[in-house]
Chains A and B, each alone.
Chain A
């Protein structure tokens, strides 16, 4: 069956079985299995051919909601979209949300996702109270920060390799509105970005868009967005749902994505803003999920798919590294119109393999036009690794074994808790294993 990851690369034939009830035993597998959510991971961390995918999306029952405490218990296939629609009208929002709401709870835990409030609230895993994990030997474990602590830590950010999460209990965030008061500030270079970041520390949400094709004096120019929940008590949502009328119905030819179009896009985005600082009120949908408005936007990259590259490096070397990388990308003229820059905060996630750490993170897309992209990213990897950074497995489809092993120091501890019968294309690739 066709079951592509979000980046449409790699392109594999996958076998999948739906899981309908949390109480049912796992299907017997001859080789290996891997849970699958909504496939919003960009690369091979949600693929497992020739092994089996366990489709968790039918596990979508809500189990209980304490609207006093804001504690939700739900099955792992429940989506962030469904959660928001249910709890936001009662004044509770996701504690942490990635840039799309078409993600399952299981996926949110397995990649320990982060959002615009990382500097204040940490990762999704910081808000998980308990979950049930089913192992391939049939054992079921309730995992929490105090119970089966090691499995809890291995499973958060554990890339689906420690077993199947059947249900999750987590803490939501009390909010005053479904709207966000947003301030958008223009910055002309990275130095300014870091200054504004510093002075915006107390804003709940911060993120920046950077024109990564700008060169010379304009290098690192962009828009800094910071926001808080409005105090207007309005909990309605101008919903952008999965039946969105805007939809990219087929794979656009990739020649549409040459340097010119991207430059035009970036310049437009940048010039939309005339004054240094502008204020607006935005519904949570356009604020958190601008890309969800265009369904299947990933198809604009064409049939060959694309790679997303997201790294984090510690603050010590942050500015120089980001600058160096921007230079390389703008020289290569291969970068995307989507470059997102953000400071991660100090809060540590319980997850052993969690990607976020204190520092600065940058994410951008690269259309796969030929081997040059892979060469460029190899070069970037070297810069990242020599600066004690790492790249995000949820978005990766290519990092080397050396890169992976060097950047996740808890790997050996993690491997003790990995389920022997769970595996993924990603795992076999970064571990240098060919057998499954």
Chain B
């Protein structure tokens, strides 16, 4: 039985990940900012799988509380799932909105990762996993405020992985493509490329199991992003992507 801590546990993807771990009998600590949602998820996992679930209410930008998560009962796996989809137009006209986005989508992840990494490093085992995005692979006019935060997470993970490779601690970055979750509920219609959070969750659990440094999910995004990254700038700029 492993101990899994999930941050941003009310996210649709994280919820499905929790189901997979609970089903196989692992112990869960779920962290989210909304107590009512946490309670619902806990009841669900307990009722369906008789799972052992602990909950912690925490706002991701409340940086001071981050270290308390790793004081005792250190998890084997720590997954960070929270994030928000930035409104690019608003980010261009409202500077404080823009900066705030980085708190939720970048600073909070780096702070959490740092606390967790220090504890895991000391122990000499465990896996850290963060949900980034394909949006971090190349800045695009329609969502570079969000994408750059995700790109930052990738570079941060690269360095952290380098550092923790010396002590046998894994760092796994997940890059989902379009996924049908509350974050993207407003985008209609949803075409063939859209994945269900259940599929993404399976890939997350597998990637952690295999300690994959970077996992595109579903796999087809490997190819799509390879192309997007390699489109020459003069062609790219002719698009409105």
Contact = CB atoms under 8 A, between A and B. Distances in A.
A92 to B, nearest CB: 13
A22 B36 CA distance: 10
A166 B44 CA distance: 15
Place the interface of chain A in its size category: 10 to 19
A21 B40 CA distance: 9
B37 interface: yes
B189 A1 contact: yes
Interface string A85-100: 0100000000000000
Contact of B47 (A1, A21, A22, A63): A63
Interface class of chain B by DSSP: helix
A42 B233 CA distance: 53
B41 A61 contact: yes
A110 B12 CA distance: 27
Place the interface of chain B in its size category: 10 to 19
B48 A86 contact: yes
B43 A64 contact: yes
Contact of B182 (A1, A18, A61, A86): A18
Given A1-B189, A21-B37, A23-B36, A62 B47 contact: yes
Nearest to B181: A20
Given A21-B37, A86-B48, A63 B43 contact: yes
A62 B44 contact: yes
A408 interface: no
A1 B188 contact: yes
Interface in B180-195: 182, 185, 188-189
Contacts of A62: 43-44, 47-48
Contacts of A20: 12, 182
Contact of B185 (A1, A17, A63, A86): A17
Interface string B38-81: 00110110011000000000000000000000000000000000
A132 B141 CA distance: 45
Given A21-B37, A23-B36, A61 B185 contact: no
A65 interface: yes
Given A1-B188, A1-B189, A20-B182, A63 B36 contact: no
Among B47, B182, B188, B189, which residue has the most Cβ atoms of chain A within 10 A?
B47
Among B36, B37, B40, B189, which residue has the most Cβ atoms of chain A within 10 A?
B40
Contacts, number: 33
Contact of A64 (B37, B47, B189): B47
A63 B37 CA distance: 12
Nearest to A65: B47
Nearest to A18: B185
Contacts of B40: 21-23, 61, 63, 75
A262 to B, nearest CB: 36
Interface in B151-209: 182, 185, 188-189
B201 to A, nearest CB: 15
Interface string A51-87: 0000000000111110000000011000000000010
B28 to A, nearest CB: 15
Contacts of B37: 21, 23
Nearest to A23: B36
B182 to A, nearest CB: 5
A87 B182 CA distance: 29
Contacts of B189: 1
A208 B204 CA distance: 49
Nearest to A85: B48
A22 B44 CA distance: 13
8 contacts: A1-B188, A18-B185, A21-B36, A21-B37, A23-B37, A62-B44, A63-B47, A64-B43
Given A20-B182, A23-B37, 10 more contacts: A18-B182, A21-B40, A22-B40, A23-B36, A61-B41, A61-B44, A63-B40, A64-B47, A65-B47, A74-B47
Interface of B: 12, 36-37, 40-41, 43-44, 47-48, 182, 185, 188-189
What are the 4 closest A-B residue pairs judged by CB atoms, nearest first?
A62-B47, A61-B44, A63-B43, A23-B36
